[in-house]
Structure 1
Amino acid sequence: MGRSNSSRSIRRRRARTVGRGIKAGLAPGTMVFVGERKCERARLDILDYNAEQLSEAKDVDLNQCFEQALADNSVTWINVNGIHDLALIESLGQHFGLHPMTLEDLVNTTQRPKVEEFDHYLLVVMKMMEFERSSASISIEHISLIVGQNVVLSFLEDEGDVFDSVRERIRKGKGRIRHLSADYLAYALMDTVVDHYFRAIEQIGDRIEEIDDKILEDPSPNDIQDIHYLKRDVLSLRKAAWPCRELISAIEKGASPVLSASTRVYWRDLYDHSIQVIDMVETYRDILGGMHDTYLSSLSNRMNEVMKTLTIISSIFIPLTFIAGVYGMNFENMPELRWRLGYHGALAVMFTIGVGLLIYFRRRRWL
């Protein structure tokens, strides 16, 4: 089924990138928010835990955030919702000793996914994706992680994220997350992001099957628009997945002091997941490339069927029209003009010719 006009209008709208031109000529490390503001104000949420205890606070102030992150016997996860607040980001950077170039990357939503190692922390930049059924499209959000010895800072554009499953594991103490260090928490967050790549790809695959079946049965002009939108979504996934493979490989092979040897195996597993994502993206990219040709072929076959039917009808009526034209001239000396059964005879001849042509076309398998 083709999607509604309202859904198409939603998908035609592209996010307006704000601030890109302002950066021109500024010194490296200058903080300029590049992107679209998606929430009214920035908010800080904290999860602090170890194997025995857990504390959680939402919408806290900076002082409480700094005090919570001082404990050495626990892992602190600070989630920042809204990276448009440059003063807040700068205060966090000063407290945790973040490099100015890191702060610049945190507020630049157009930054390509990457990983950078510093003396006491690791910077990871990724793209978080979810498939929105309302508009049948993929929503993309910029996400950055700062991984320290006992702290992880996550920076998001908006309040919504895909980390509810990780929070639930921490609250209920499921798995190893409460017993391992901050780098395992970073792995869990990145693994969740990659898992949602799989979900987005699966939704795209279902949509591709629907459109493919419709193209073969009843192609319409709306199908070519749907194919174009899916191509754009797959391209967005590809842009996010390819650098993701590189950054995970760099983390797995890196020698950052914030990464423990016990988590190496998990990074290798995450690298395998990223390879699977890329393989699926490339497969669907090839399928979409062929669907355009399939659409044109279906239209051509449908037109050929229509033209064949019209040609057969025309072929049948051409001799009948000829007979009717001859006997419709009404010349006075036409020999058959005075026949009593001339009208019925002419109809019988025309009927016989029409049936004969139908039988001939069917024997030739033209019908």
Structure 2
Amino acid sequence: MAKHKKKRSRERILERKAGTRPGSIAVPSEAYKPRFFLMSFTETFLDEQELPSYDELIKHVKAKPEARHWIDIRGYSDQAVLERLLVDFSLHPLQIEDVLNDYQRPKVEEFGDNRLFIITRMLRWSPEFKSLDDVQLSLFTGANYVLTLQSDYGDCLDPLRERIRIGKGVIRQRPTLYMAYAMLDVVLDYYFPVMADIGTYMEDLEQQVLREPSKNTLSEVLDLKSELIKLRRITWPQRDIMTELLRLDETTIPDSLKVYFRDAYDHAVQLIDLIENHREMSSSLVELYMSTVSNRMNEIMKVLTIISSIFIPLSFIVGLYGMNFSHQDPASGKVFRFSMPELYQPYSYPILLGLMSILILLQIYFFYRKGWFRSF
């Protein structure tokens, strides 16, 4: 779950001790047991299976040197497997350290024999927690393989696997670098449904703000703004990855393949534009909330003001006729009490009530002519 992942990320940071030797392999305490998946294929051949151990995985890879391989390792709680990866695939300890750092910034590096090390992030929108769930995907390219490592068992690459199974397109005819591009493209494609889900959620929040603004609604809007900041922090490096790949010389990425990476670059730019639009909309939601709350407060104050205005003359009349005066005669010492003479008239009470009712009606008519009731 997304909230749990946020907590785990903080714990992961705390686990990293200051002064640790660079390249140290420190397996996270919450890492999953590794599972080994292999897809070996040519234009006319496909072999897909989950293997029980790393030894079996390497055995099947070496048994088919003519094929191209997608080596997919999900989970890395076995330190011995990681150490063997260093030797079998000629990796650098710093690269494995970046793999284990499950919240590494997306990036691309070129290392020996024109191989590439790419880190990207797979996204998913959690409808339950209304937050982003992101998982790191690490790729290593070789002459006849692409090695992927990820912390979770599930990912967003099933459409690519299905394309390989049915031989759709040119993926089984192209070099393995094209498969690396296809993985990056699928990862970016899954950002668009995430953006659509966020857009739908923002529309729901807008309706809540207009109908029933509350502190809980404001909290949800502010949480969404923080998620959009996180999404922006992830997406901008994705564009930088494509830029760096396009800058590599032809010996690493042929010009015939760069056209595909340019397409992925365009997708990244579109995503950034969508994110910026969503960020502006989230800021507008905060302003809309403040405006709606202010308008509702103004309506409440208007009602209270009208009620107060109606009772002010009534209070004056009641207070006026409730006055009594007294006078003490200096000679006799008697106290004389005086009150208004109209209070003793036969119909003074109903006349006074009628006068007060007429005042109320006149005030209501005045407020109505001024248009103060139109917004109620």
Relative to the length of structure 1, the TM-score reads 0.91
CA 1:9–1:255 in 2, change beyond 3 Å: closer, same or farther? closer
Asked if 1:105 corresponds to 2:88, the answer is: no
Cα distance in structure 2, aligned partners of 1:8 and 1:69: 35
Contact kept? 1:50, 1:179, Cα under 8 Å:
yes
Cα distance in structure 1, aligned partners of 2:219 and 2:339: 65
**What's the CA shift for 1:252?**
2.0
Contact kept? 1:44, 1:60, Cα under 8 Å:
yes
Aligned with residue 191 of structure 2, among 182, 193, 197 = 197
Asked if 1:144 corresponds to 2:144, the answer is: no
TM-superposition CA deviations, 1:222-267 (whole Å, max 9, x none): 0111012111211111111111111111112213755344321110
Aligned with residue 352 of structure 1, among 352, 355, 358 = 358
Aligned to 2:217: 223
Cα distance in structure 2, aligned partners of 1:350 and 1:53: 98
Q: Once structures 1 and 2 are overlaid, which stretch shifts more, 292-301 or 154-163? A: 292-301
Contact kept? 1:49, 1:75, Cα under 8 Å:
yes
TM-superposition CA deviations, 1:78-124 (whole Å, max 9, x none): 11111333221221221011122212211111321110001232100
The structure, 1 or 2, with the larger RCO (C-alpha pairs under 8 Å, 6+ apart) is: 1
Contact kept? 2:51, 2:57, Cα under 8 Å:
no
TM-superposition CA deviations, 1:117-151 (whole Å, max 9, x none): 01232100111110111222110111111111110
**What's the CA shift for 1:170?**
1.1
Relative to the length of structure 2, the TM-score reads 0.89
CA 1:337–1:13 in 2, change beyond 3 Å: closer, same or farther? farther
Q: Which runs of 5+ in 1 are unaligned?
A: 1-6
Contact kept? 1:68, 1:76, Cα under 8 Å:
no
Aligned to 1:42: 34
TM alignment of 1:236-251, pairs within 5 A = 236-251=230-245
Cα distance in structure 1, aligned partners of 2:69 and 2:266: 28
Deviation >6 Å, runs of 4+: 7-12
Cα distance in structure 2, aligned partners of 1:243 and 1:348: 78
**What's the CA shift for 1:187?**
1.1
CA 1:191–1:134 in 2, change beyond 3 Å: closer, same or farther? same
CA 1:203–1:303 in 2, change beyond 3 Å: closer, same or farther? same
Asked if 1:55 corresponds to 2:61, the answer is: no
Aligned with residue 297 of structure 1, among 291, 294, 309 = 291
Between structure 1 and structure 2, the one with the greater Rg is 2
Cα distance in structure 2, aligned partners of 1:155 and 1:82: 7
